[in-house]
Structure 1
Amino acid sequence: MLVDTEAGVEHFGRGVVEGVDLVVMVVDPSHEAVLLAERAKALAAQLSKDLIAILNKVDAATEPFLRRELSERGIPVLGAFGFSPEIMEANLTGNPLPAGNCQEQVDELLASLSF
């Protein structure tokens, strides 16, 4: 089961993480997101849980930068979703995403998470 929580680390204090096998954190290209991932890793470690990251909204410049920053903090990156103008437009307008958007990337990530 995959549980999507709000951004942040509040759910660590609410016991949500206690029953999980793995914490998967989505990291956007920002310094704040890297710091949040670092904090989440520390909180997950206190609960003896592994944490991995999936990069979101990255491009050719931000992906290697984020991979390096997270690696230096001991956070493995499982995969990445590139920046998509179609997704941004749908988010801005409130419209649903087109069917199949990023489906191949999602399938690959889910397959790599199989236990």
Structure 2
Amino acid sequence: MSDPLWSYSTESGHLAGTDLTGWRVEAADGHIGKVDKHSDEVDDSYLVVDTGVWIFGKEVLIPASTVTRVDLEEQVLHLALSKEQVKDSPEFVSDKHLADRQYREEIGQYYRPNWPFSGGMGPI
């Protein structure tokens, strides 16, 4: 069974294959950073957002389901998360993310209490 937490909603306007690297990321209450890495894989879609100096250079892994709107013209991604939710999210650790499914589940547990996100798909 697929986990919709790691998928873009059809309402977001995301187009598979679009290179999002460098795009601005806006939380529900303001700018939080830019996309450093991303994945469009089925059931494994995510953003790695570099928050820059806003929270001391922390990178965060954000499930694709949190993306509420993709502005292709302005190259901006809008999230259903607040700045505080992003700030409090677990730090992205590349080695763990790429190799450890338990780490992915821990990331998912952080976001699931807020499920479904406004504008997201909701559970299937």
TM class, shorter-length: 0.3 to 0.5
Q: Which is richer in helix? A: 1
Name the TM-score, length of structure 1 as normaliser. Answer: 0.33
Give the number of the structure with larger relative contact order, counting CA–CA contacts within 8 Å between residues 6 or more apart: 2
Name the TM-score, length of structure 2 as normaliser. Answer: 0.31
